[in-house]
Amino acid sequence: MSKADDAKSLIQQTLDKALVAQQPLAQKHVERLRRVHPDDTPHDLIRRLDRYYLAGVTASGGASGAAGIVPGAGIPTALADVMLFTEASVLYTLSLAEVHGIHPEDFERRKLLVLTVLLGDAAVSALEKTIGRTGPYWARRIVKAIPMAAINRANKVLGPRFITKFGTKQGVLVLSKQVPLGIGAALGAGGNHVFGRLTIKSARAIFGQPPSSWDGDAPEGSAP
């Protein structure tokens, strides 16, 4: 097996393990934040999740870029950065689902939700061919309304796209991280910051507006 195949296998394993391990952690994460910040509305808490997620992935990118100066460390460190980014993105997406009152208990539905957020527009265009019309704010439909056979078909399409496209996006930074310390750290942090913002934007489009209160009241003008 080539190094590229090894890397893809590790990213796939990281995604699958995170989809299992992060589900209960996301629930506890949201519960803890609600205890610590009792006055937060769902909208406030989502903004808080955005900040934590963006700060975390930016910091990990900077650390990876800084490590690129160590001889022989650049490639493994960059791969570790991809894995950390994947785990953080899974926790972020599942935490958003908790705030929205969406609880994807089934592994495959949870996987489709996360892949759709991480791949953004590329996922939506692929899913329209696999599942049919998606439309805006369709996270709840992924979890409740789409037949399981269609979920499985969609994951077979999006899974390889995630490994290839997401890995390639992050891989663009691999060589740029193997430059003098300060420059490498800046490129690594900046790249992850951009990817993090894209993930947040994609999540907004898929989840839509949060409930207006913790009782689950829908905000005015939101899609059902």
Q: What integer best gives the mean pLDDT of the chain? A: 75
pLDDT (0 to 100) of residue 9: 79
What pLDDT is stored for residue 119 in this prediction? Answer: 85
The predicted structure's pLDDT at residue 66? 45
Higher per-residue confidence, 135 vs 143: 143
Q: Residue 183: what pLDDT?
A: 40
Cα distances from 32 to residues 42, 48, 174, in angstroms, run 14, 12, 36
pLDDT of residue 101: 92
Lowest mean pLDDT, pick from 114-118, 156-160, 182-186: 182-186
Banded model confidence at residue 60, pLDDT cuts 50, 70, 90:
low
Res. 110 pLDDT band, cuts 50 70 90: very high
Average pLDDT over residues 188-200: 71
Amino acid sitting at position 111: K
CA distance 43 to 19: 24
| The residue to which tokens 């009241």 are assigned | 217
Predicted confidence at residue 83, as pLDDT, reads 79
* Dihedral sign of CA atoms 53, 188, 185, 5 in order: positive
CB 89 within 8 A of CB 200: no
pLDDT at residue 172, as a whole number: 40
Q: What is the pLDDT of residues 71-101, one digit of tens each?
A: 444 445 566 777 788 899 999 999 999 999 9
How high is the pLDDT of residue 61? 53
Distance CA 167, CA 186 (A): 20
Q: At which residue do the structure tokens 């910051």 appear? A: 193
104 neighbors 143 (Cβ within 8 angstroms): yes
DSSP code for 219: P
173 vs 164: CA distance, rounded Å:
15
pLDDT digits (tens, 9 = 90+) for 4-13: 566 777 788 8
Q: How much of the chain, in percent, has pLDDT values that exceed 90?
A: 29
Mean pLDDT of 113-126: 83
H or E stretch covering 125 = helix 121-130
141 vs 2: which has the higher pLDDT: 141
Most confident of 3-17, 24-38, 156-170, 182-196: 24-38
Say what the alpha-carbon torsion angle 132, 121, 151, 214 is, to the nearest 10 degrees. Answer: -110
Q: What is the pLDDT of residue 136?
A: 58
